Amino acid sequence: MRRGLRGIIPGIGVGLLPLAVLPVLAVSGPDGAAPVGADSIGADSIGADTGHPLVPPADAASTPHGRGDTPADGPTYLIADLGPVNRSGASGTATATLRGNLLSIRIVTHGLAPGLPHPQHIHIGGSHSCPAPDATGTGARGQVRSGDAKKSIGAIAVSLTTTGDTGPDSSYALDRFPVGDAGYERTITVSPTVAAELRGGEGVIEQHGVDANHSGRYDGAARSDVKPELPEEVSNSAACGRLVTSPTAVPVGGVAAGGGGTA
C-alpha cells in the first residue's frame, strides 16, 4: 500500500497546502470531499458504463476510418484533433507513428487546468467518437463523467503516462501524467491487438481533469465514478479526439523511448 496524500485530503496528515509546495505522493484510500493537486493516485482502470448516451453512434458517412491508405508492411501515421469537453476550453493535436507494435506519440494541448495533473488515455471501442463540447452528463452541474463517455469512446487500452507502465492499471497514477499544458512525448510498446485497432482508426484520445470551480485544485463533494476516493473533477473529460490515419509522416520530433509496459 502506498503512502497517503499529505496536505491534500483532509484527515490524512496536515491540512491543505499550496500547490507549489505539494510533494508527489500517493493516496491510500477514500476520504470525504478532498481536493487533489499534482499527486500520485493508485492505479485503476475505467469504471462501469453508466448507460448515459451522449452522442449518437457515428455512421459510416460521417466518421472516416482514416485520411489515407497506409501500406500494410510500412509505418502507420496517425493524427487526432483534440476538442474541448465539459466547456473546458482545452484543444490540441496528437500525432503518432506506429511501426509494428512501437507507438511514438506527441500531444500538444492548450487550455487544460494549470498546475494540475491530467490523466490521458487511448480508448478503443464504442463508436470511436467523442462527446460534444456542450454535452450534458451525469456529473455535478451536468459534467460529463468517464462512464458517460465510455459508450462512445470505449474502454482504456493505453495509459499515456510519462514514465513506467502504460497499461489500464496505470489509468489514474497521477504522479505519472503531464501537469497543465506541459505536453507529452513518448515511445511505447502496445499489444498486437491494439496496434491493429489503431491502424483501423479505432483509437480515441481522451484527456481528463476539469477544475470546474476554478479553485486551483481538484475538489468538491462529488466523487469520481472511476475512483471514488478522488474528487469527480479529476476524472471528468477535458479534451477528446479520434486518431485517424494520415497518408504522410506526421512529425513527432524528439520522442524519447519510454519504459512502458505492453498495453
Report yes or no on 216 lying in a domain. yes
Q: How many residues does the chain have?
A: 263
Report yes or no on 17 lying in a domain. no
Determine contact, residues 205/120, Cβ cutoff 8 Å. Answer: yes
Residue range 46-87, pLDDT digits in tens:
333 333 333 333 333 333 444 444 445 689 999 999 999 999
> What pLDDT does residue 52 have?
35
Report yes or no on 146 lying in a domain. yes
Query: What is the grid cell recorded at 54?
Result: 451522449
d(CA 26, CA 139): 25
Report yes or no on 255 lying in a domain. no
Determine contact, residues 46/226, Cβ cutoff 8 Å. Answer: yes
Domain count, the chain: 1
pLDDT band at 1 (very low <50, low <70, confident <90, very high): very low
Report yes or no on 33 lying in a domain. no
* Whether residue 198 has pLDDT greater than 90: yes
Q: Which residues contact 105 (CB under 8 A, 6 or more apart)?
A: 94, 95, 96, 160, 184, 185, 186, 187, 188, 252, 255
**Three-point CA angle 55, 158, 164, nearest 5°:** 150
Domain ranges, residue 172: 64-246
Q: Which residues contact 38 (CB under 8 A, 6 or more apart)?
A: 19, 22, 24, 115, 116, 117, 174, 175, 179
Residue range 87-115, pLDDT digits in tens:
999 999 999 999 999 999 999 999 999 99
Report yes or no on 171 lying in a domain. yes
Report yes or no on 202 lying in a domain. yes
CATH number (domain holding residue 73)? 2.60.40
Report yes or no on 213 lying in a domain. yes
Question: Average pLDDT, whole number, for the chain?
Answer: 76
Could you give the percent of the chain with pLDDT greater than 70? 67
> What pLDDT does residue 144 have?
94
